[in-house]
Amino acid sequence: MLSPVTLITGTRKGIGRFLAEHYVRQGHRVVGCSRAEIDWTLDGYTHYVADVADEKAVRGLLADVRRKYDRLDHVINNAGVASMNHSLLTPVSTVHHVLDTNVVGTFLVSREAAKLMQNHRYGRIVNFTTLAVPLKLAGEAVYVASKAAVLSLTQVLARELVELGITVNAVGPGPVDTDLIRAVPKEKIERLVAQQAVRRIGTFEDIANVVDFFLKPESSFITGQCLFLGGV
Partner 1 sequence: MHRDLVSLIVNLVRELDGRPGTTIPEELDAGTPLFGRDGFLDSLGLVTLVVGVEQAIEDSFSMRVGLADERAMSQTRSPYRTIGSLAEYAGRLIAAELSDA
Binding mask 107-146 for partner 1 (x = CB under 8 A): ----x---x--xx---------------------------
What residues from 83 to 112 belong to the interface with partner 1 (CB under 8 A)? 111
Kindly write out the interface string for residues 146-185 of this chain, putting x where it contacts partner 1 by CB under 8 A and - elsewhere.
-----------------xx---------------------
226: contact with partner 1 by CB under 8 A: no
**Residue 182 to residue 46: CA distance in whole angstroms:** 28
Q: Which is nearer to partner 1, 56 or 200 (CB)?
A: 56
Residues 50-69, interacting with partner 1 (CB under 8 A): 55-56, 59-60, 63, 66
- For residue 37, how many other CB atoms are within 10 A of its CB? 8
Residue 161 C-beta: closest distance to partner 1, Å: 10
Q: Is 69 a catalytic residue?
A: no
- DSSP output for 47-84: EEE--TT-HHHHHHHHHHHHHHHS---EEEE-------
Q: What is the smallest separation between the CB atom of 68 and partner 1, expressed in angstroms?
A: 13
Task: Report residue 39 CA to chain centroid gap.
Answer: 21
Question: Mapping DSSP to helix (H, G, I), strand (E, B) and coil, where does residue 24 land?
Answer: helix
Residue ranges in 15-54 that form contacts with partner 1 under rule CB under 8 A: none
Pairing outcome for strands 5-9 and 29-34? parallel
Listed in sequence order, the residues at least 6 apart from 215 whose beta carbon sits closer than 8 Å to its beta carbon are 6, 74, 124, 126
- Min CB(146)–partner 1 separation in Å: 22
CB 187 within 8 A of CB 206: no
Instruction: Yes or no: say if 217 and 200 are a contact pair by the CB < 8 Å rule.
Output: no
Shortest Cβ 147–partner 1 spacing (Å): 24
Which residues make up the interface to partner 1 (CB under 8 A)? 55-56, 59-60, 63, 66, 111, 115, 118-119, 163-164
Residues acting as catalytic residues: 143
